[in-house]
Structure 1
Amino acid sequence: MTKSSSTYSSHPCFGSAARKTVDRIHLPVAPRANSRIKYSSMQKIQDSIQPEAALAWLDELISEGRKIEVVGITGPGDPLVIPDLTFRTLELVKAKYPNISLCVTTLGIGGAEHAETLAKLGVSHVTLLVDAISRSMIEELYAWIRPSKKNIPLEEASSLLLSEQAGAVKALKAAGITVKINTTVYPPNADHVGEIAETMKALGADIMAVVPFIPRDEEQEILLKKTDSITMAAARDLASKHIDLMPEWEECGAILKNEPSSLLPKPTKPRPNVAAVSSNGMEVNMHLGHAEKILIYGPRDDGLACLLETRTAPKAGGGTARWEELAGTLSDCFILLAASAGDSPKKILSQHGLYVAVTDGEIEGTVDSLYGGGKKKKCKK
């Protein structure tokens, strides 16, 4: 194949440009997955954050001098399962940082439907996760595929996935978006990679990344070892006969890792306090929707963070108005701790500058960590 075209060779994720000293950040705003590979870890999916919190994190990194050139929406779930969260994040980033390149990584279900919207929001590149182009191989690799809120039989889902991915490539290209195919090599699909490359290229895909399966934890490593170099070389050779390939490396660009502590907001002068819901006053153990009282923690005059007061939560049943009222009640808080919370309150409160953190930790220790403490002193009430 010929060398990569100028359409994508200058992008920090592709070609030699990816070797430059630039930063790429993945904003974890997609809360729900729509598939699982059989070799995936069974560990709980990483928590997602709201678009406003993602923008605040991006602001913080840029203020620290990080030269972020690419913002990707890649997880922890699939960005097109709840597209409104992805779209709002893209809107916020594009409005504030118009020179930052935007990209999305998705399985492709819903890709054709949302292609024009992604283009209008400024997305220049979409990565499609394509590990198979036959029903039998999909059924070999996937534990389940969930195109909506409910699983469907894998035999039916495999046909749907093939159709959705093919339609996504065509629609994204028609919308002027560069399409990269990302294929992870497992033992069952290693000899299948050439067919994937040929099929995707015929549909219009621009470039392909052929990457090894890499266990992320001990549980995964028990299921399957990292794909060896001989298998990878053979797979890349098969693919290169049909489509341009990205250079060999395990991750594209210089990705800023999503450390949990980095994703949490910090106290500010207008919002110095922490809100928490609890049934016993010691642990974060309540669903936000069930809370009647809100515990408010914050720094006293001596700087030590303690329980300041208890506030009454708005009565249940008010719908959107309830969360709007709660946002006003907690206008001096930068974070709200709850054991669980629905998408609607998370969205509304986030739009009002209040981040909802789902946790089940002990309140005192969690509050202490939010203020950067090490539990050096106890709060005397």
Structure 2
Amino acid sequence: MFALELARQFRKTRSQQRFISFISMSSTVGIALGCFVLILLLSVMNGFEKELTNRILSVIPHGELYSVDKRGIDNLDAQRYRLEQDERIARVTPYTKLTGMLQYKGELKAIELTGIIAADNQQYFEDRVSQPQWLSFQANDKGVLIGQGIAEKLGVQPGDAVQVLVPVATNDLTFKAPKTITLTVSGFLSIGGELDNLVGLMHLDMASNAAEITSKAQGMQFTFYNAYSANEIMREIGYSYPQAVYMSDWTRTQGHLYNDIQLVRAVVYIALVLVIGVACFNIVSSLVMAVREKQAAIAILKTMGATDSLIRTIFILQGIINGVVGITTGVLLALLVAPNLSAIVLFVENALGIEVLSGDIYFIDFLPSELHWGDVGITVALALTLCVLATLYPAQKAVKISPSSALH
């Protein structure tokens, strides 16, 4: 293509064009850096979202429905069967929740125990509890699985007897001695983050008896095929339920993690798009100076019959070449680094003796990364669009050059 060849010739550096060449190169580097960092950070956000789904949402219930009064859920088996027919619901599990203080050798630690049917939940906790510990829990009606953080704080070992102090509510709001439940530690539950310092599992029958639930369970926990539709589905279930119930979903308890990820994603996208936009302004500067430098050449082309469309295309292509070089470089670097980011960060941590993410604070102890081709495509399209827009003004100025005044 004739216009493309002329654009390539116009990009060649001469001694008097070094400053223009430097600005052009800086725009290319800026675009490459912006595309690289944008794709890399979006991959990190994708990784966090994936780990949130795999680690937190695979263990905690997506939704909960629990009775307003103390008797628990009426006709539990029938209601459970009815709800399991909903194609959006993966499983329905009865539960009773106890909140109290775990006591061991004079030490106390707040704990939230969830009573479950062990046989119905093994596959959902097999990655969080070792199989021997789960089998021990399942075989012992008084067994309890406590969070790893609680066990480390209290120094508890499997087989130790612990007491759970459960507060007793009274109608006249007077103080009453807490109820004491003696349990045997079967093992430890490892979910990640702050949950390891709070949660535990016990058997449903014992939890319901301790909570004085007259039916089988206090409520039902739901797992949905699409965890991100939990709020909508729980509202639908709760409003149509034949008994007075409270309803909740994971967006109320752990939703801050997801919201933080989305907020950071939005901020990162805006900031780095602006970086790419600033780099594209350098394309405007370099092309404006190139147009001024090439006035004579443009005038000669016009006297030889070059149309305005050809002149405009030459400078648009010249700017696009700079943009494509930057985009290609940035994308290739991102494709190389993003899939291996976790290993790279781990190597840096080991080499420098630092810890980027602490497992005691965050729900993971490594920097995750998952590359999505959709993010790559959007980044490329956005950067290319900005590059094209940046060439329009200089190209129009080139078209307006008059051969008579330029060759005078």
Whether these two folds match at TM > 0.5 is no
TM-score (norm 1): 0.30
The structure in which a higher percent of residues are helix is 2
Q: Which structure is higher in RCO with an 8 Å CA cutoff and minimum separation 6? A: 2
Structure number with larger C-alpha Rg: 2
